[in-house]
């Protein structure tokens, strides 16, 4: 049976991006990037066109699906579909699916996933223009681990797993 998940990192204001980029560099929050790679490896990832463009290529070791109405969009190793429903239909035989952004894709997916793997960063990033939806009361934290900033992570952060109540 397929697991539908969201994986996301956001700041104290639920900000996830600024000018179509992450709020921090890959080397600034290394444990978040490591967790992302570990959880999504050998899984299917679903993303919006802007997220794909910001990444620049298909993520290796994963099935990559992009939501876009522009079927002239061509990236090696990427499947293009019109809607989240179409993406889910094409992944019905996949064991694990992760929605990886951006904000409009998260908004569409939040009511159709089983779990949210969040990195909650203890910082407020100026100029953010993309945000993760507020979770309603049916979402409960089932796991949570706090970490301090260090030489590999410029902000304190918390890994939280949410499930529907």
Indicate the pTM of the whole model.
0.95
Contact predicate 30/17, CB 8 Å: no
In 28-152, beta strands by DSSP E: 44-48, 63-67, 78-81, 96-99, 115-121, 130-131, 139-147
* CATH class of the structural domain 3-164: alpha beta
Q: What is the domain partition of the chain in residue ranges? A: 3-164
pLDDT of residue 1: 53
Instruction: Quick: pLDDT tens for 127-153.
Output: 999 999 999 999 999 999 999 999 999
Q: Tokens standing for 48? A: 């919006």
Within 28-79, residue ranges assigned H as helices are 30-40, 49-55
């Amino acid at each position: 049976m397929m697991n539908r998940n969201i994986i996301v990192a956001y700041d104290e204001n639920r900000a996830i991006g600024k000018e179509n980029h992450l709020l921090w560099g890959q080397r600034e929050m290394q444990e978040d990037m490591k967790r992302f790679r570990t959880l999504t490896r050998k899984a299917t990832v679903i993303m919006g066109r802007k997220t794909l463009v910001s990444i620049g290529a298909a993520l290796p070791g994963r099935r990559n699906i992009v939501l876009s109405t522009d079927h002239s969009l061509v990236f090696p190793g990427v499947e293009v579909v019109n809607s989240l429903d179409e993406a889910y239909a094409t992944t019905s035989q996949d064991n694990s699916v992760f929605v990886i952004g951006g904000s409009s894709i998260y908004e569409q997916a939040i009511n159709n996933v089983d779990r949210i793997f969040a990195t909650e960063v203890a910082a407020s990033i100026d100029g953010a223009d993309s945000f993760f939806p507020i979770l309603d009361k049916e979402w409960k934290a089932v796991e949570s681990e706090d970490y301090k900033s260090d030489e590999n992570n410029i902000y304190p952060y918390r890994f939280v797993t949410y499930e529907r109540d």
